[in-house]
Amino acid sequence: MSLDLSTDHPAGLATASAPATPTAPAQPTDRWAARRRLGADAASYLTMIAAVAVMSVPLLWMLVASFKQPSELYSLPLQWLPASADPANYAQVATTLPIGRLFLNSLGLTVVGAGLKMLLGLCCAYALVFVEFPAKKAIFTLVIFALLIPAQITIIPNYTLVASLGWLNTYQGILVPGLASAFGTFLFRQHFLTLPASILEAAQLDGAGHWRRLWGFVVPMSLPTIAAVGLVSMVAEWNDYLWPFLVIDDAELMTLPLGLTLLQNVDGMTNWGVLMAATVLVTAPILAVFLILQRRLVAGLTAGAVTG
């Protein structure tokens, strides 16, 4: 005698599907938190767009104004785009100024000045980190205080020294007073503190001196910081106006920023299209260098940021 108990078997109960758990409705606090995050993101993007507009609109206006005729520059309502892209303003800049000579002066002074600043900053920072000598902390404190002193305060004593040495209207008169870079020394020193000491200790045990350790080990491990210091130094050297304006009055030794003043003296302040064209020629090279090295700048400036 057989009985069919399949409907009462526990396995039959196991195969039955469990009822779905109802999803809890979103809490009001969660909705308010999501709205706050959305509002914060929107405010951040709007702030970024406004900052980009403030920085880029003058550059765009300078570029389009360099192709305008005087009648278009003074027209009302404001005319953003020129009627025709006429490079006559650039041709007038080339015929009025020794633009080639000015460019070579700026290029040479920028390369030499930025290179010497990086070299001195590297050597000073290496000594402050890896060389033991008395009063090392006091010297680093002086470097920090040098960062707090505006450059304008040192103009008069520097001018007096350069004039007493007979360096007015000379390239060394432009370069030498600004070679000591407290910013570069500080940034290199902070980065060097993050380097693994075991590598330099092993190099020292192998007989490597300070010079070999600097160029064979420290420099290859510090390329982002070197690129950042180099970019900041190049921008500062290229755009420097006040100091070369004080020590140079010979057109053969002037740089591109000084060429703008020379153009104003020759052409007056009436033709703004020519001045805008000259300003584009001054700005474009260093702006291109900055766009190429901008990633290195961020990486170098943040290296060693949390090191004491």
82 is a domain residue = no
Q: How far apart are CA 115 and CA 230, in angstroms?
A: 7
For 196, the 3-state DSSP assignment is coil
Closest listed residue to residue 254, CA positions, set 116, 100, 91, 94: 100
Specify whether 163 is located in the same domain as 280: yes
Specify whether 57 is located in the same domain as 174: no
Specify whether 92 is located in the same domain as 124: yes
18 is a domain residue = no
227 is a domain residue = yes
Q: How far apart are CA 44 and CA 51, in angstroms?
A: 11
Q: How far apart are CA 204 and CA 185, in angstroms?
A: 23
Q: How far apart are CA 143 and CA 129, in angstroms?
A: 14
The secondary element (H helix, E strand) that includes residue 177 is: none
75 is a domain residue = no
Q: How far apart are CA 227 and CA 300, in angstroms?
A: 7
Q: How far apart are CA 146 and CA 49, in angstroms?
A: 35
pLDDT in tens, the chain (308 residues): 444 444 444 444 444 445 555 555 555 677 787 777 888 888 888 998 988 888 888 888 888 888 888 778 777 777 777 877 778 888 888 888 888 899 999 999 999 999 999 999 999 999 999 988 888 889 999 988 888 888 888 899 999 999 999 999 999 999 999 888 888 999 999 999 988 888 888 888 888 888 999 999 999 988 888 988 888 899 999 999 999 999 998 888 999 999 888 887 776 556 788 888 888 999 988 888 888 877 766 666 665 554 44
pLDDT at 132: 87
Q: How far apart are CA 229 and CA 121, in angstroms?
A: 9
pLDDT at 28: 62
Q: How far apart are CA 78 and CA 57, in angstroms?
A: 14
- Domain limits for position 39: 33-65
Specify whether 174 is located in the same domain as 58: no
Return the CATH number at 141. 1.10.3720.10
146 is a domain residue = yes
Maximum CA extent, the chain: 128
User: 42: Cβ–Cβ under 8 A, 6 or more apart, which residues?
Assistant: none
2 is a domain residue = no
Written as one letter, the residue type at 161 is L
74 is a domain residue = no
Specify whether 277 is located in the same domain as 197: yes
Q: Measured between alpha carbons, how far is residue 159 from residues 154, 238, 239, 259 in Å?
A: 8, 20, 19, 21
Specify whether 142 is located in the same domain as 291: yes
Specify whether 48 is located in the same domain as 193: no
Do 90 and 281 touch, CB atoms closer than 8 A?
Answer: yes
Specify whether 174 is located in the same domain as 44: no
First to last CA, the chain: 90
Q: How far apart are CA 188 and CA 15, in angstroms?
A: 70
pLDDT at 152: 84
Indicate the pTM of the whole model.
0.77
Specify whether 259 is located in the same domain as 165: yes
Closest listed residue to residue 192, CA positions, set 250, 142, 126: 126
Specify whether 109 is located in the same domain as 38: no
Specify whether 42 is located in the same domain as 94: no
Q: How far apart are CA 189 and CA 142, in angstroms?
A: 14
79 is a domain residue = no
Specify whether 56 is located in the same domain as 198: no
How many domains in the chain?
2
